[in-house]
Amino acid sequence: MGQTPAARPEAIRHGFAEVNRVRLHYASAGARAGESKLIIFLHGFPEFWYAWREQLVEFGRDYYAVAPDMRGYNLSSKPAEVKQYEISRLVGDVQALVAHLGAKSCVLVGHDWGGVVAWASAIACPDLVEKLVIVNAPHPGIFQRELAQNPAQQQASQYMLLLRTPEAEALMSANNFELMQEGILGPGLRQGYFTEADRLAYLEAWSQPGALAAGLNYYRATKIGPPAGVSDEDSHRQFDSASLDVKPPTLVIWGERDPYLLTGNLDGLDRYVRNLRVERVPEGTHRVVHEKPALVNSLIHGFIAS
């Protein structure tokens, strides 16, 4: 989609990058790499670059802020094969995008699936990530444990099984994406942190040919999920590392009322992350980026500056 008044179009630019055999659309703000530090924001399912519109404007004041449509979403390429959405390929997109943008490393911020890819990028390519910011996205080792041992997380993750079924596209897109409108946008529209312009922007992105199937392929390509997670061997293979340790300094922001990813995903995280800061948001849900953008921005600013 194009620029919108809600996204303050005077501050946001749009471009495309031919990387890793796909064409990625991205939005950006601020001085380009070489003049400012690069900070990349990765969205989750079923969002797109627009999820970070307020962060682009905010961080574009001091950094080169970039938010891509991850492969499969909105205006980016949408490969048909499920294997094209394996973690290693998504990490490759991040590596190639950083190089395309003229940088050798970046501050990497990710939410939901974008957070999963951000964890994986920091694990596989620690020199690529100066600092890592995760918003409500589980570390693979911790999530594996929670799915194996925590019945509450097993139950909270049942939706993943539905999203892998062949019927998922039809179910999610029925009646003008009724389920997605209610589940993703409904609370925000009622509480005022989403507007009608936002709703239309999301509908336009979801309606791009092949976008919904591509987003669902993220779930289909991974072996992680209920009832018992994934084996250690498979987890290491997916994340392209003999270890799941995270070397870059890491900030984890967690909305504690997330119904999909429970707070058990924070327990023991320091065993994998050498330099860890955790900020819990008691009133935040899985959509804490939208609910409390000023708080999220402040936490990220403080962490980058530290």
Active site residues: 112, 219, 286
Q: How many CB atoms lie within 10 A of CB 6?
A: 16
Radius of gyration of the chain (CA): 18
Q: How many CB atoms lie within 10 A of CB 155?
A: 12
Q: How many CB atoms lie within 10 A of CB 42?
A: 30
Cis preceding-peptide flag for 259 (omega within 30 of 0):
no
Tell me 287's DSSP state.
Answer: T
Question: How many residues in the chain?
Answer: 306
Residue whose C-alpha is closest to residue 177's, from 73, 48, 46: 46
CA angle 105, 108, 114 (to 5 degrees): 135
For residue 145, what are the contacts with CB-CB under 8 A and spacing of at least 6? 229, 268
Tell me 181's DSSP state.
Answer: I
User: How far is the C-alpha of 137 from the C-alpha of 224, rounded, in Å?
Assistant: 13
For 261, list phi and psi in degrees, rounded to 5.
-125, 105
AA letter at 204: E
User: How far is the C-alpha of 252 from the C-alpha of 268, rounded, in Å?
Assistant: 13
Dihedral through CA 215, CA 100, CA 86, CA 255, nearest 10? -60
